[in-house]
Amino acid sequence: MGVSDFFRRFTTKNHHYLPVFAQQATYLLHASSALCEMTETMDPAMWRKKEKEIKACEVQGDALLTELNEQLYEVLARKIKRSDIQSVAMNIDDFLDNINDSAKSIPLYMPKRIDPQIVDLAQYINSAADSIKKLMQLFGDLKKNYAKIAVQCERITELEHAADDTFAEYIGYIFTHETDPIELMKYKNIAEAFEAATDAAKRVSDGVRKIIMRYQD
């Protein structure tokens, strides 16, 4: 189904931005799962294959965001501002962009190994994407699902904190144990790309928190 067709199916509903969020979340989960698979192999051909999958998700996500921006004037949600909807959509798109950047970093730097901390960071990204998908499924009824939404937002925050700890531990580890300065910089740059993705996930959560707090006023 094309993006325009996707929108036309929901033009008679008050919350026709919801399927956009749902589709963005689907792209996120697909991309983050592929990123995890990249960290579980040392096969450059598989790295390139998964990178292409992630890039395709990123391109589709960009198209979806463009369509949303063109359709926002139709949004009829009573308490949700159009700017808030746009902000959440852009933050999800940024998260997807960061996953794509993380994926590109592996075949770009061609590391000699994938350390366990990188695998952990990929899992945090994937778990955050899973939470965002759940958030988007709950978004149709903010009042009814307030508590469940808050739980998922908190989970994303906890994942971001765990990723920060893992990143700090890993940077200390490679600067202590890696003797090849070129390899050290490879690992550092890869880890930074992955950690930035978890920060992007938290920005999605923060945007959702802002909306649900206003909705409860």
- In this prediction, residue 113 carries a pLDDT of 95
Q: Give the residue numbers spanning the domain of 52.
A: 3-215
Q: Is residue 198 pLDDT above 60, yes or no?
A: yes
Structural tokens at position 128: 């955050």
Q: Could you tell me the end-to-end alpha-carbon distance of the chain, in angstroms, rounded to an integer?
A: 38
In the chain, the number of structural domains is: 1
Per-residue pLDDT, averaged over 147-176, amounts to 96
Indicate the burial class of 213 (C-beta count within 10 angstroms; 0-12, 13-18, 19 or more).
exposed
- In this prediction, residue 16 carries a pLDDT of 62
pLDDT-derived band at 30, boundaries 50, 70, 90: very high
pTM of the model: 0.84
List helix spans (H) across 40-145: 44-71, 82-109, 116-138
Q: Output the domain CATH number for residue 117.
A: 1.20.58.220
Report the percent of the chain where pLDDT is more than 90: 66
211 vs 95, residue with greater confidence: 95
- In this prediction, residue 86 carries a pLDDT of 85
Per residue in 124-146, pLDDT tens? Answer: 999 999 999 999 998 878 888 88
pLDDT-derived band at 21, boundaries 50, 70, 90: confident
